[in-house]
Homo-oligomer: A and B are copies of this chain.
Amino acid sequence: MRCWAKLGGTRLGPEEYFAQGGRILARLEYDVGDEFLPLGGRGISRYAMHICNAGSAAPEPGGTPLVEAGGMLFKLEYLNPSGSFKDRGAFTGLPPTPSDVVVDSSGNAGISFTLYGRAAGHRVTVYTPRGVSEGKRRLLELLGAEVVFARDREEAHRMALAAGGVYVGHWLNPFFLVGVRTIAYEVYEEGVVPGSVIVPVGSGSLLLGLYMGFRDLMEWGLVDDLPRLIAVRAAGHDELFGIGGHCTLAEGLMIPSPPRGPEIRRAVRESGGWAEGVEDEDILKALKWSLKKGFIIEPTSASAVAVALRLRDRVEEPVLVPLTGSGLKRSETFLNK
Protein backbone atom coordinates (compact mmCIF):
# COMPACT_ATOMS: atom_id res chain seq x y z
CA MET A 1 0.00 0.00 0.00
CA ARG A 2 1.18 3.51 -0.71
CA CYS A 3 0.44 6.31 1.74
CA TRP A 4 0.95 10.04 1.96
CA ALA A 5 0.80 13.02 4.25
CA LYS A 6 -1.70 15.33 2.61
CA LEU A 7 -1.25 19.09 3.07
CA GLY A 8 -3.63 21.20 1.06
CA GLY A 9 -2.93 20.34 -2.57
CA THR A 10 0.33 18.42 -2.08
CA ARG A 11 1.11 14.91 -0.93
CA LEU A 12 4.32 13.72 0.67
CA GLY A 13 5.38 10.09 1.05
CA PRO A 14 6.79 9.03 4.45
CA GLU A 15 10.40 9.61 3.38
CA GLU A 16 9.72 13.17 2.20
CA TYR A 17 7.44 14.00 5.12
CA PHE A 18 10.02 12.99 7.73
CA ALA A 19 12.88 14.56 5.72
CA GLN A 20 11.09 17.88 6.22
CA GLY A 21 11.18 17.33 10.00
CA GLY A 22 7.67 15.97 10.48
CA ARG A 23 6.32 19.09 12.17
CA ILE A 24 3.30 19.56 9.93
CA LEU A 25 -0.27 18.62 10.77
CA ALA A 26 -1.14 16.49 7.77
CA ARG A 27 -4.01 14.20 6.92
CA LEU A 28 -3.37 10.57 6.12
CA GLU A 29 -4.14 9.56 2.55
CA TYR A 30 -3.66 6.09 1.08
CA ASP A 31 -4.75 3.87 -1.75
CA VAL A 32 -7.00 1.42 0.00
CA GLY A 33 -6.90 -1.11 -2.86
CA ASP A 34 -9.65 -3.32 -4.20
CA GLU A 35 -9.77 -6.01 -1.57
CA PHE A 36 -8.77 -7.10 1.89
CA LEU A 37 -5.64 -9.23 1.66
CA PRO A 38 -4.55 -10.54 5.05
CA LEU A 39 -1.40 -12.67 4.97
CA GLY A 40 -0.30 -15.34 7.47
CA GLY A 41 0.78 -14.78 11.05
CA ARG A 42 -1.03 -13.02 13.83
CA GLY A 43 0.73 -9.71 14.40
CA ILE A 44 0.32 -6.49 12.45
CA SER A 45 2.48 -7.83 9.59
CA ARG A 46 -0.49 -9.98 8.69
CA TYR A 47 -1.74 -6.72 7.12
CA ALA A 48 1.47 -5.90 5.27
CA MET A 49 -0.59 -5.29 2.11
CA HIS A 50 -2.47 -2.52 3.92
CA ILE A 51 0.27 -0.75 5.79
CA CYS A 52 3.16 1.34 4.54
CA ASN A 53 6.40 2.47 6.05
CA ALA A 54 6.60 -0.32 8.62
CA GLY A 55 9.54 -2.21 9.93
CA SER A 56 11.33 -2.57 13.22
CA ALA A 57 13.20 -5.48 14.73
CA ALA A 58 11.20 -5.30 17.98
CA PRO A 59 8.33 -7.77 18.56
CA GLU A 60 5.50 -6.67 16.32
CA PRO A 61 2.27 -5.29 17.79
CA GLY A 62 -1.18 -6.68 17.07
CA GLY A 63 -2.98 -9.97 17.41
CA THR A 64 -4.39 -8.93 20.78
CA PRO A 65 -7.21 -11.01 22.32
CA LEU A 66 -10.89 -10.13 21.93
CA VAL A 67 -12.73 -11.12 25.10
CA GLU A 68 -16.38 -11.06 26.23
CA ALA A 69 -17.31 -9.63 29.62
CA GLY A 70 -20.57 -8.21 30.91
CA GLY A 71 -22.22 -8.65 27.51
CA MET A 72 -19.61 -6.51 25.73
CA LEU A 73 -16.46 -7.24 23.74
CA PHE A 74 -13.12 -6.00 24.96
CA LYS A 75 -10.05 -5.77 22.73
CA LEU A 76 -7.03 -6.21 24.99
CA GLU A 77 -4.71 -3.66 23.43
CA TYR A 78 -2.86 -3.41 26.72
CA LEU A 79 -1.27 -6.78 25.88
CA ASN A 80 0.75 -5.27 23.03
CA PRO A 81 4.54 -5.58 23.48
CA SER A 82 5.03 -2.32 25.40
CA GLY A 83 1.60 -2.41 27.02
CA SER A 84 -0.55 -0.11 24.87
CA PHE A 85 -2.28 0.28 21.50
CA LYS A 86 0.27 2.95 20.65
CA ASP A 87 2.66 0.18 19.64
CA ARG A 88 0.63 -0.18 16.45
CA GLY A 89 1.06 3.47 15.55
CA ALA A 90 4.73 3.65 16.48
CA PHE A 91 5.37 0.58 14.32
CA THR A 92 4.14 2.49 11.24
CA GLY A 93 5.01 6.00 12.40
CA LEU A 94 8.80 6.11 12.34
CA PRO A 95 11.08 7.50 9.60
CA PRO A 96 12.26 4.80 7.18
CA THR A 97 15.94 5.50 7.91
CA PRO A 98 17.67 5.78 11.31
CA SER A 99 17.41 9.36 12.61
CA ASP A 100 17.22 11.45 15.74
CA VAL A 101 13.53 11.36 16.52
CA VAL A 102 11.64 13.44 19.07
CA VAL A 103 8.26 12.70 20.53
CA ASP A 104 6.00 14.33 23.10
CA SER A 105 3.97 12.01 25.28
CA SER A 106 2.25 11.60 28.61
CA GLY A 107 3.86 8.16 28.72
CA ASN A 108 2.55 5.35 26.54
CA ALA A 109 3.34 6.82 23.12
CA GLY A 110 6.83 7.71 24.29
CA ILE A 111 7.37 4.14 25.45
CA SER A 112 6.11 2.71 22.14
CA PHE A 113 8.23 5.04 20.03
CA THR A 114 11.26 4.28 22.18
CA LEU A 115 10.74 0.51 21.91
CA TYR A 116 10.30 0.46 18.13
CA GLY A 117 12.62 3.39 17.51
CA ARG A 118 15.61 2.00 19.40
CA ALA A 119 15.17 -1.44 17.83
CA ALA A 120 15.25 0.22 14.39
CA GLY A 121 18.40 2.19 15.19
CA HIS A 122 16.91 5.61 15.93
CA ARG A 123 18.00 7.90 18.73
CA VAL A 124 14.86 8.79 20.69
CA THR A 125 14.16 11.86 22.83
CA VAL A 126 10.89 11.96 24.76
CA TYR A 127 9.38 15.20 26.09
CA THR A 128 7.04 14.39 28.90
CA PRO A 129 5.18 16.22 31.66
CA ARG A 130 7.01 16.28 34.99
CA GLY A 131 3.99 14.53 36.55
CA VAL A 132 4.36 11.37 34.45
CA SER A 133 4.02 8.25 36.59
CA GLU A 134 7.27 6.97 38.07
CA GLY A 135 6.89 3.57 36.43
CA LYS A 136 6.55 5.10 32.97
CA ARG A 137 9.52 7.41 33.46
CA ARG A 138 11.80 4.57 34.58
CA LEU A 139 10.68 2.45 31.70
CA LEU A 140 11.49 5.19 29.18
CA GLU A 141 15.01 5.41 30.56
CA LEU A 142 15.46 1.65 30.66
CA LEU A 143 14.46 1.38 27.02
CA GLY A 144 17.11 3.92 26.11
CA ALA A 145 15.17 7.15 25.60
CA GLU A 146 16.58 10.51 26.51
CA VAL A 147 13.84 11.95 28.73
CA VAL A 148 13.24 15.71 28.96
CA PHE A 149 10.68 17.07 31.41
CA ALA A 150 8.14 19.78 30.71
CA ARG A 151 5.71 21.60 32.99
CA ASP A 152 2.68 19.96 31.39
CA ARG A 153 1.53 18.11 28.28
CA GLU A 154 1.15 21.28 26.20
CA GLU A 155 4.65 22.50 27.07
CA ALA A 156 6.01 19.04 26.21
CA HIS A 157 4.45 19.47 22.77
CA ARG A 158 5.93 22.94 22.25
CA MET A 159 9.38 21.79 23.41
CA ALA A 160 9.34 18.76 21.10
CA LEU A 161 8.38 20.95 18.15
CA ALA A 162 11.15 23.42 18.99
CA ALA A 163 13.83 20.73 19.38
CA GLY A 164 16.10 19.42 16.62
CA GLY A 165 15.50 16.07 14.95
CA VAL A 166 12.48 14.51 13.33
CA TYR A 167 9.17 14.99 15.16
CA VAL A 168 7.14 11.76 15.18
CA GLY A 169 4.50 12.51 17.84
CA HIS A 170 1.02 11.27 16.98
CA TRP A 171 -0.59 14.67 17.49
CA LEU A 172 0.62 15.53 13.97
CA ASN A 173 2.21 12.43 12.40
CA PRO A 174 -0.34 10.95 9.96
CA PHE A 175 1.52 7.64 9.54
CA PHE A 176 0.74 6.74 13.14
CA LEU A 177 -2.88 6.20 12.06
CA VAL A 178 -1.86 3.59 9.49
CA GLY A 179 -1.09 1.03 12.17
CA VAL A 180 -4.03 1.84 14.43
CA ARG A 181 -6.44 0.92 11.58
CA THR A 182 -5.49 -2.72 11.98
CA ILE A 183 -7.51 -3.01 15.21
CA ALA A 184 -10.66 -2.82 13.07
CA TYR A 185 -9.29 -5.51 10.72
CA GLU A 186 -8.57 -7.88 13.60
CA VAL A 187 -12.04 -7.46 15.06
CA TYR A 188 -13.57 -8.13 11.65
CA GLU A 189 -11.45 -11.24 11.22
CA GLU A 190 -12.78 -12.56 14.52
CA GLY A 191 -16.23 -12.46 12.94
CA VAL A 192 -17.42 -9.37 14.81
CA VAL A 193 -19.04 -6.33 13.20
CA PRO A 194 -19.55 -3.90 16.08
CA GLY A 195 -22.67 -1.77 16.35
CA SER A 196 -20.90 0.68 18.65
CA VAL A 197 -17.34 1.35 19.68
CA ILE A 198 -16.54 3.15 22.94
CA VAL A 199 -13.27 5.00 22.33
CA PRO A 200 -11.17 7.05 24.73
CA VAL A 201 -10.13 10.26 22.97
CA GLY A 202 -7.01 12.21 23.92
CA SER A 203 -5.35 13.36 20.73
CA GLY A 204 -7.82 11.18 18.85
CA SER A 205 -5.47 8.78 17.08
CA LEU A 206 -7.33 5.71 18.32
CA LEU A 207 -10.70 7.03 17.21
CA LEU A 208 -9.40 8.16 13.81
CA GLY A 209 -7.52 4.92 13.25
CA LEU A 210 -10.63 2.88 14.02
CA TYR A 211 -12.73 5.15 11.81
CA MET A 212 -10.32 4.60 8.90
CA GLY A 213 -10.11 0.86 9.52
CA PHE A 214 -13.90 0.45 9.43
CA ARG A 215 -14.06 2.73 6.37
CA ASP A 216 -11.57 0.42 4.65
CA LEU A 217 -13.75 -2.60 5.45
CA MET A 218 -16.74 -0.72 3.94
CA GLU A 219 -14.74 0.14 0.82
CA TRP A 220 -13.92 -3.54 0.41
CA GLY A 221 -17.61 -4.39 0.72
CA LEU A 222 -17.09 -6.42 3.89
CA VAL A 223 -19.25 -4.37 6.26
CA ASP A 224 -22.26 -2.20 5.45
CA ASP A 225 -22.03 0.61 7.97
CA LEU A 226 -19.69 2.39 10.27
CA PRO A 227 -20.18 1.43 13.93
CA ARG A 228 -21.33 4.30 16.13
CA LEU A 229 -18.13 5.88 17.44
CA ILE A 230 -18.69 7.09 20.99
CA ALA A 231 -15.89 9.40 22.09
CA VAL A 232 -14.92 9.30 25.76
CA ARG A 233 -13.51 12.56 27.12
CA ALA A 234 -12.16 13.65 30.49
CA ALA A 235 -14.81 15.93 32.03
CA GLY A 236 -13.52 19.48 32.29
CA HIS A 237 -10.70 18.89 29.81
CA ASP A 238 -12.70 19.03 26.63
CA GLU A 239 -13.09 21.85 24.15
CA LEU A 240 -14.10 19.47 21.36
CA PHE A 241 -17.58 18.68 22.62
CA GLY A 242 -17.79 21.10 25.53
CA ILE A 243 -18.00 18.53 28.34
CA GLY A 244 -17.46 20.27 31.68
CA GLY A 245 -16.53 18.76 35.05
CA HIS A 246 -13.50 17.93 37.18
CA CYS A 247 -11.79 14.73 36.07
CA THR A 248 -8.20 14.27 37.31
CA LEU A 249 -7.47 10.56 36.73
CA ALA A 250 -7.64 10.10 32.95
CA GLU A 251 -4.16 11.46 32.30
CA GLY A 252 -4.09 10.27 28.69
CA LEU A 253 -7.29 12.14 27.78
CA MET A 254 -6.48 15.58 29.15
CA ILE A 255 -5.91 17.24 25.81
CA PRO A 256 -8.70 19.81 25.64
CA SER A 257 -8.16 20.84 22.05
CA PRO A 258 -6.20 18.27 20.04
CA PRO A 259 -4.85 19.34 16.62
CA ARG A 260 -7.09 16.82 14.83
CA GLY A 261 -10.20 18.14 16.58
CA PRO A 262 -12.19 18.89 13.41
CA GLU A 263 -11.36 15.45 11.95
CA ILE A 264 -12.43 13.79 15.20
CA ARG A 265 -15.75 15.64 15.37
CA ARG A 266 -16.44 14.83 11.72
CA ALA A 267 -15.76 11.11 12.19
CA VAL A 268 -17.95 10.92 15.29
CA ARG A 269 -20.80 12.75 13.53
CA GLU A 270 -20.53 10.68 10.36
CA SER A 271 -20.77 7.47 12.40
CA GLY A 272 -23.91 8.63 14.20
CA GLY A 273 -22.00 8.72 17.47
CA TRP A 274 -21.52 11.31 20.18
CA ALA A 275 -19.26 12.16 23.12
CA GLU A 276 -19.51 11.21 26.78
CA GLY A 277 -17.58 12.65 29.71
CA VAL A 278 -16.11 10.79 32.67
CA GLU A 279 -15.41 11.90 36.21
CA ASP A 280 -12.97 10.31 38.69
CA GLU A 281 -15.68 8.38 40.49
CA ASP A 282 -16.80 6.77 37.20
CA ILE A 283 -13.21 5.79 36.49
CA LEU A 284 -12.54 4.30 39.90
CA LYS A 285 -15.73 2.25 39.77
CA ALA A 286 -14.89 1.05 36.26
CA LEU A 287 -11.31 0.24 37.27
CA LYS A 288 -12.57 -1.93 40.10
CA TRP A 289 -14.99 -3.68 37.76
CA SER A 290 -12.20 -4.23 35.22
CA LEU A 291 -9.74 -5.67 37.73
CA LYS A 292 -12.40 -8.05 39.02
CA LYS A 293 -12.94 -9.23 35.44
CA GLY A 294 -9.18 -9.76 35.11
CA PHE A 295 -8.33 -6.72 32.98
CA ILE A 296 -5.19 -5.08 34.36
CA ILE A 297 -5.60 -1.63 32.84
CA GLU A 298 -4.72 1.94 33.70
CA PRO A 299 -7.22 4.66 34.73
CA THR A 300 -7.27 6.27 31.27
CA SER A 301 -8.38 2.94 29.81
CA ALA A 302 -10.99 2.49 32.53
CA SER A 303 -12.66 5.68 31.23
CA ALA A 304 -13.95 3.71 28.28
CA VAL A 305 -15.17 0.95 30.58
CA ALA A 306 -17.04 3.56 32.62
CA VAL A 307 -18.93 4.78 29.56
CA ALA A 308 -19.50 1.21 28.35
CA LEU A 309 -21.12 0.30 31.68
CA ARG A 310 -23.22 3.48 31.49
CA LEU A 311 -24.48 2.89 27.95
CA ARG A 312 -24.50 -0.85 27.50
CA ASP A 313 -28.26 -1.27 27.30
CA ARG A 314 -28.76 1.83 25.18
CA VAL A 315 -26.44 1.45 22.21
CA GLU A 316 -26.27 -0.84 19.19
CA GLU A 317 -24.69 -4.21 19.85
CA PRO A 318 -22.22 -5.73 19.71
CA VAL A 319 -20.43 -3.10 21.80
CA LEU A 320 -16.66 -3.01 21.28
CA VAL A 321 -14.39 -1.47 23.92
CA PRO A 322 -10.66 -1.23 23.18
CA LEU A 323 -8.70 -1.45 26.44
CA THR A 324 -5.83 0.83 25.58
CA GLY A 325 -3.09 0.69 28.22
CA SER A 326 -1.63 -1.69 30.81
CA GLY A 327 -2.11 -1.11 34.51
CA LEU A 328 1.22 -2.79 35.20
CA LYS A 329 3.11 0.36 34.24
CA ARG A 330 1.61 2.37 37.01
CA SER A 331 0.56 -0.02 39.71
CA GLU A 332 3.03 1.76 41.97
CA THR A 333 1.08 5.01 41.87
CA PHE A 334 -2.41 3.60 41.44
CA LEU A 335 -3.28 3.46 45.10
CA ASN A 336 -1.86 6.84 45.94
CA LYS A 337 -4.60 8.61 44.04
Contacts and interface: CB of A to CB of B under 8 A. Distances in A.
Interface stretch (A46-54, A77-85, A166-174, A314-322): A77-85
B65 A42 contact: yes
Nearest to A43: B65
Given A42-B65, A59-B65, A135-B332, A144 B292 contact: yes
B295 A59 contact: yes
A60 B135 CA distance: 26
Given A79-B79, A142-B334, A335-B138, A59 B328 contact: no
Given A81-B296, A294-B58, A295-B59, A332 B134 contact: yes
Interface in A287-337: 291-296, 326-329, 331-332, 334-335
Interface bracket on A: 35 or more
Q: How many copies does the complex hold?
A: 2
A294 B291 CA distance: 27
A141 B135 CA distance: 17
A11 interface: no
A148 interface: no
Given A81-B294, A143-B291, 16 more contacts: A42-B42, A42-B63, A56-B294, A57-B69, A58-B293, A59-B65, A60-B65, A60-B67, A76-B81, A82-B294, A115-B294, A116-B294, A135-B328, A142-B334, A328-B329, A329-B331
